[in-house]
Structure 1
Amino acid sequence: MSVAILSFSIFAASQVGTPGPANMALLATGARFGFRAALPFVAGVALGKQLIIWPIGFGLMTLAESEPWLFQALKWASVFYICWLAWKVANLRLSPSDGENTQPPGFLAGLWIHPLNPKAWAMIVTGFTSFVSADTPTLQATATIAMCLLATQAIFHPIWAYGGGRIAQLVAGRPAERYLMRTLAALTVASVLVVLF
């Protein structure tokens, strides 16, 4: 009757810290407008994940009691998606933003990044299906997943906004870019191996 907090935190760090739609938006916003101007957007992105954690947690945990086979199917669908995403990350190439917008996106713009982000959905489903014991109370499981992800986002999202633009400027179009993206993809695959074994 528990959540594997340490294992889930490692998984969450590998997912939140690697490229995806949210981190690419944070990178572009930080590069274009600077760290301070990007902070409302960063906060919106971090809190936006809560909009899907709680419904998924309560829906999946209730559904898992009556349909355990669906719980397993969701787990494997999430694992395959994350592997596909890793392949996309390995082939992603960075490019500097054009800076056409004059106003940085705000809190509300950030709030909707994760609800529209399939990586976030897959990450949360994998969290509930792989790191939560079947007999864990729904509120305990959901609150634990929510707190772990928010803490992880509080660390990694500002890093992407602050340093992401600089990293892109340093490696875009250079040989180091390919090695960086392959390393990030390998970390994504490693997170899936943690789920399987």
Structure 2
Amino acid sequence: MTVAVLPLAIFAASQVGTPGPANMALLATGARFGFRAALPFVAGVALGKQLIIWPIGFGLMQLAESAPGLFTALKYASAAYIIWLAWKVANLRLGVSDAGARAPGFAAGLIVHPLNPKAWAMIVGSFTAFVADGTSALVATATIAAVLLACQLLMHPLWTLGGEAIAKSVAGTKLEPYLMYTLAGLTVASVLFVLFAGGA
């Protein structure tokens, strides 16, 4: 086997299932708008990781080695975007009184992972740890893409449903703003951890 599929699947499940900027965004979106309204966003988040996997599999890592400054800049720009999302989450409220509010759509979800440093670290780790020397780029990339997508299709909806369940118990109560501040704080903490502690 040119790709260690079972260890890769365990690694992927542990990474996709744990808190990070994308999962915090899913949790907050489910809490604010409900599971059904959040589904286009969930689909975009799941498919957005493919926008990173395939370029990495076909040589983006060589560019990273030749222009490390570019990727450092990308890392911090990505962190700034995630923190901006967190600020928006902190100011959202779960009630339906704001008739103009709409759940983020597919396109908004699509860019979450390309701007998520945890996703980059996870994908690079998948290629470096679970792909045998001499494996074709197509086989390695397709296998990693399929395993990560399967984990996302299972776990991203669960995070979104969790947000909806939380919202049902706190919407309109005094706890509501504190929930949103907590979600925003967890989002910021997760991205800062990835930036400065090297987490995946």
TM-score category, normalised to shorter length:
0.5 to 0.7
Q: Which whole-Å deviations, capped at 9, do the CAs of 1:147-190 have from their partners, x for residues lacking one?
A: 000100000000011123435868x98xxx9xxx9xxx9xxxxx
Residue aligning to 1:115: 114
Q: Which whole-Å CA distance do the structure 2 matches of 1:114 and 1:51 have between them?
A: 8
Residue aligning to 1:103: 102
Q: Which whole-Å CA distance do the structure 1 matches of 2:54 and 2:160 have between them?
A: 26
Q: Which whole-Å CA distance do the structure 1 matches of 2:36 and 2:155 have between them?
A: 16
Is 1:26–1:157's contact at 8 Å kept on the other side of the alignment?
A: yes
Residue aligning to 1:158: 157
Q: Residue 114 of structure 2: SS of its match in structure 1?
A: helix
Alignment RMSD (CA, Å): 3.3
Q: Which whole-Å CA distance do the structure 2 matches of 1:148 and 1:96 have between them?
A: 35
1:56 is displaced (CA, Å) by 0.5
Q: How does 1:1-197 map to 2 (within 5 A)?
A: 2-59=2-59, 63=62, 97-99=92-94, 102-167=101-166
Q: So what's the TM-score if we normalise by structure 1?
A: 0.66
Is 1:31–1:97's contact at 8 Å kept on the other side of the alignment?
A: no
Q: Which runs of 4+ in 1 moved over 4 A?
A: 167-170
1:108 is displaced (CA, Å) by 0.2
Identity score, percent: 67
Q: Which whole-Å CA distance do the structure 1 matches of 2:35 and 2:164 have between them?
A: 10
Q: So what's the TM-score if we normalise by structure 2?
A: 0.66
Is 1:28–1:97's contact at 8 Å kept on the other side of the alignment?
A: no
Gap runs ≥5 in structure 1: 64-69, 71-94, 186-197
Q: Which letter does structure 2 place at the counterpart of 1:122?
A: A
Q: Which whole-Å CA distance do the structure 2 matches of 1:130 and 1:112 have between them?
A: 26
Gap runs ≥5 in structure 2: 66-89, 171-175, 191-200
Residue aligning to 2:82: none
Is 2:22–2:116's contact at 8 Å kept on the other side of the alignment?
A: yes
1:135 is displaced (CA, Å) by 1.1
Q: Which whole-Å CA distance do the structure 2 matches of 1:128 and 1:20 have between them?
A: 20
Q: Which letter does structure 2 place at the counterpart of 1:13?
A: A
